[in-house]
Amino acid sequence: MAWELEAFARSIGGRSRHTVRAYVADVRDFAAWVDRGQVRGPAQVDRLLLRRYLAYLSTRRYARATVSRKAAALRGYFAWMARRGVIDTDPAARLRASSGNGRLPRVLDRAELSVLLDGVPAQVHGDEAVRLRDDAVLELLYGSGLRVSELCGLDMGDLDLRGRTVTVVGKGDRQRRVPMHDRCVRALRRWSLEGRSRMVRSQSPPEALFLNARGNRLGPRDVRRLLDRRAPHPTHPHALRHSFATHLLDGGADLRVVQELLGHASLRTTQVYTHVSKERLLSVHGETHPRA
């Protein structure tokens, strides 16, 4: 009760539902961590404790972006508590995660993509519905550059197979329409017409495009397990989005077009992929040029 997480969630209700869920989970994780040290509420938290928590996250090998998001959640939470007068001072004011060294996104090569998109592991050979779903999921993630959360939130009505587009609700509840290539359309048509009905259960949401083995809406964890089955090497679902953007730029796509396809609010976010492409160009030059 002391942390008032439900009230905090309502206070940030103007953000996307994914951000609200993540921020509340971040504060809940922090509350559980400080509870081990007998800290029972926000009034007992000071800046040193917050910095120790961020350091702890770094030692647990959380990605820098994840630690930065958790710091942002804590800043928002303690600022809200201070505005309400629940705490006298805001211990999280100007709290920042350590900058560290940014990691460039991993880009899948053609051989990896061939195995991932075209190979079918032995454990799913006997389950045609699962194979059809997995094919459609992977083609969408790589072929249209969707975020995993966007893919999991898709409804049947979001697909326009005739027009070869999918309507996506991204961060900040911004909506965009993304094109699909022919193989993606074929995979989605087969899943919709042949596979989905085999996975529907009595409690299945009728509008959900993708379902898991229990008949519920497909979730991010289900997608990670899917990739564990299909990928030749450990692969994070976001690597497919990174690969989509990088391969477009390598093929000559305009940066602003890629920004629009990815649903980035700022061009600066998209520019990381130009760095990836430059790294690849330098690598190819160094490996192939006789004077390199």
CB–CB of 20/9 below 8 Å?
Answer: yes
For 262, the token pair is: 């990815």
Residue 91 pLDDT: 95
Task: Spell out the long-range contacts of 256-261 with Cβ–Cβ below 8 A and sequence spacing 24 or more.
Answer: 260/176, 261/144, 261/145, 261/176, 261/178, 261/179
AA letter at 182: D
Give 217's pLDDT tier (boundaries 50, 70, 90): very high
Predicted TM-score (pTM) of this structure: 0.64
Q: What is the pLDDT of the chain when averaged over all its residues?
A: 87
Given its phi and psi angles, is residue 283 left (phi above 0), alpha (psi -120 to 50 degrees) or beta? alpha
Mean pLDDT on 185-201: 96
Cα 101 from chain centroid? 21
Structure confidence by residue, pLDDT tens digits, 135-184: 999 999 999 999 999 999 999 999 999 999 999 998 878 899 999 999 99
All structural domains of the chain, each given as residue ranges with its CATH number in brackets, are 5-83 (1.10.150), 112-238 (1.10.443.10)
φ, ψ for residue 230 (rounded to 5)? Answer: -100, -30
In terms of average pLDDT, the best of 34-48, 144-158, 276-290 is 144-158
Identify the CA nearest to 24 among candidates 82, 88, 98, 80: 80
In the predicted structure, residue 101 carries a pLDDT above the cut 70? no
Average of per-residue pLDDT across 214-224: 95
Contact 169, 150 (CB under 8 A): yes
Catalytic residues: 147, 171, 238, 241, 264, 273
pLDDT digits (tens, 9 = 90+) for 82-96: 999 999 999 999 898
Whether the CB-CB separation of 91 and 46 falls below 8 Å is answered with yes
The average pLDDT across 184-190 equals 97
